[in-house]
Amino acid sequence: MAKKYNLPIYCPIDDQGKYTEGKWRGIFVKDADDLIVKTLEEKGLLVNYGRIKHSYPHCWRCKTPLLFRATEQWFLIISKIKDEIIEQAKTVTWIPEWIETRYINGVKFVGDWNISRQRYWGIPLPVWVCKKCGKYIVVGSVEELKERAVENIELEDLHKPYVDKVKLRCECSGIMERVPDVLDVWFDSGLAPYASINSKTLKKADFITEGHDQVTKWFYSQHALSAIVFGDVPYKKCLTHGFTLDEKGDKMSKSLGNIVSPDDVVEKYGADILRFYLLSANKVWEDLRFVWSEVDDVLSLFNTLWNAYMFAVNYMVLDNFQPNDDYFKYLREEDKWIISRVNSLAKKAIKSLEIPHFHTYTWSIKDFILNDLSRWYIRLIRDRTWKEGEDSDKFAVYQTLYYTLLKLSKIIAPIAPYTAEAIYQNLKTKDLEESIFMYNIDVDEELIDTELEKDMEIVRDIVDAIYRGRDKIKYTLRYPLKEIVISGNEEVKKAVDRFEEIIKEQGNVKIIKFGEVGNYKIKPNYRELGKRYKSEVPKVVEILNKVDAKELINELNEKGKAIIEGYEILPSYIDVKIELPENISGVEFSKGTVYINAKIEEDLIKEGLMREVIRRIQAMRKDLDLDIEEKIKVKVEGIDLNGFEKIIEREVRGTFEDIEGEYIKDWEIKTPDGRKYNIKIRIERA
């Protein structure tokens, strides 16, 4: 308004915050509030008076309220190059992408840059003003300053107060003195990328990162100055990150007593755990709530990785295994699958790091360690590692684990360097580099089999459905299922045919069939039908009651809709119910349904009891802290082993003998059909 009507700039407040004129001259502005209100009231000019709670800027150091006053300042006229800055910003890779919009909007509405500050510390503003004619010059270098100086002064320091001693001669013969101001700190931070290396040409940074509060600050100050000096943006890729808050989402501060020291976390968990947690807890551009229990989860993840590594190493050492590519000739499908998966992980890791999307990088690693390596592959191959002698099938497992762990070490090295190096140092052979960090993450593309991975994913879904079905009918995994029927499309059938033995083994199933079970019934959804067909609903219902339910459901699954006598039927227009035979339980998975025959038969119970005994002997071996290869003697009382003695001996690395026992323990076993067995197990070292 003042600019529009050419009103004078008026500021009756000095740099101490006190009035310079009038009735309240010499009084601090905040102390004059009540006096001003009283004066307005006396003059009959007061309309209303009160206090309103609102946000207000305070000094971050002393917490006193700040004042706004009109002063003379120096500016860069950014408005002249604003369009160029906006176009240059579009060439930058912003992470996340929506930051580009925020940045450009900030540039659009930013004013000219006030670069001067009234402080002591900082870069002195290189402007000298003539006291005689008022002309000013901007000095561009130390050499220029020395050339223009009235006297020959040796400058040991270009900061205040030394530089203020330098006087220059004006064209009018007057003396020029430096203005007392210093530069805005964002000015020197914006110049830092090239000023720090004394570069006269622009050297674009490949990557920069800062907090999301710096979008219109440091990101902008760098760009604005670079656009002025070099006519271009000074960086190629820019990532913004969030801040670390406490568990409740509050800012950490000493006064609140909620600060978490990184040193404390490293002392308790290690640097790898902290680093992985910070980059996996959420997307890096979101604020992070630091939760101790979530750090425990990361520790658990690393323990799982270490246990998988120790599992492999212990068996390799036990069998004097030496890595040899010849063993790749004996790989099974599950071996090829984990090798494909670890290379797919490497491919995804490279892509995620190059963006960078640290969350997808870390989440992918977590999924691989927990679900692919530990909970699936090691379960699949455990029995193969128990074979005696130099068995090619067993050594193919070792070669696969060796390859997978080496590849995984490269993948995790950027975020978990200590763990990666520890694993690598114990696995490396003489022909390998001295350190894991002599390698980049690499991908063996020829070993990636996407069809194999898809088929195995379906199989894992089926096995998971079997587990859920067992929970549903309260039939534990140790007891075999007589039969399951799997329904699904051709993709499912192909996967089942390919991995039938794995499904049987992991689901503890005797027979697998592919097909449908039970009768489908459909019931019209009157509410949804009414929204579309209104008065025609009775006619549509009559048509639905006549159609073959299974054919309608298949068509809806394949096409997403069906046309019957001119009426379009959508999945939401019907409710589907399956009438299953007695003792059959259905559990859905991603691409179909698993039907479980829950009939309990005596031979299945006997086999389950064998597994119950094995589990308890293994638990007792663990209590005695026995090595893998140590043999034991066993005696079991209170149960008939039904001819399964040889299987039990093989599984527990023992022999049945009449012994007193070094370690004796009583156990209770309950079967799915309600029977209870109280047994006594005795074991001792052989």
pLDDT digits (tens, 9 = 90+) for 17-49: 999 998 999 999 989 999 999 999 999 999 999
Please tell me the distance from the alpha carbon of residue 35 to that of residue 37, in angstroms, as a whole number: 5
pLDDT at 549: 86
Tokens matching residue 170: 């004006």
Residue for token pair 């998975």: 589
Q: How many CB atoms lie within 10 A of CB 123?
A: 17
pLDDT at 249: 92
Give mean pLDDT, residues 435-442.
97
What's the predicted TM-score (pTM) here? 0.84
pLDDT at 106 over 90: yes
> Kind of pairing, strands 676-685 and 632-637?
antiparallel
Please tell me the distance from the alpha carbon of residue 95 to that of residue 242, in angstroms, as a whole number: 12
Please tell me the distance from the alpha carbon of residue 243 to that of residue 245, in angstroms, as a whole number: 6
Please tell me the distance from the alpha carbon of residue 67 to that of residue 312, in angstroms, as a whole number: 68
pLDDT at 152: 85
Tokens matching residue 29: 């502005």
Are the C-beta atoms of residues 240 and 100 closer than 8 Å to each other?
A: no
**Is omega for the bond preceding 124 within 30 degrees of 0, making it cis?**
no
pLDDT at 137: 95
Band of the pLDDT at 68, cuts 50, 70, 90? confident
663-669 long-range contacts, CB within 8 A, separation 24+: 663/620, 663/623, 663/624, 665/616, 665/620, 667/616, 669/609, 669/612, 669/613, 669/639
Q: Per DSSP, which regions of 557-674 are E strands?
A: 562-564, 567-569, 574-579, 584-589, 592-597, 632-637, 654-656, 663-670
pLDDT digits (tens, 9 = 90+) for 478-508: 999 999 999 988 999 999 999 999 999 999 9
pLDDT at 516: 85
Least confident range of 205-209, 256-260, 367-371:
256-260
pLDDT at 282 over 90: yes
Q: How many CB atoms lie within 10 A of CB 471?
A: 12
Band of the pLDDT at 294, cuts 50, 70, 90? very high
More confident residue, 65 or 339: 339
Tokens matching residue 402: 């060796």
What mean pLDDT value characterizes the chain? Answer: 93
Are the C-beta atoms of residues 114 and 123 closer than 8 Å to each other?
A: no
pLDDT at 310: 96
pLDDT at 1 over 80: no
Band of the pLDDT at 114, cuts 50, 70, 90? very high
pLDDT digits (tens, 9 = 90+) for 545-591: 889 888 888 888 788 899 999 999 999 999 888 888 888 999 999 99
Share of the chain above pLDDT 90, in %: 79
Band of the pLDDT at 618, cuts 50, 70, 90? very high
pLDDT at 623: 94
Tokens matching residue 283: 């997307």
Band of the pLDDT at 627, cuts 50, 70, 90? confident
Tokens matching residue 332: 């099974």
pLDDT at 377 over 90: yes
The dihedral built from the CA positions of residue 265, 268, 272 and 277, taken in this order, carries a sign that is negative
pLDDT at 71: 86
Least confident range of 67-76, 266-275, 425-434:
67-76
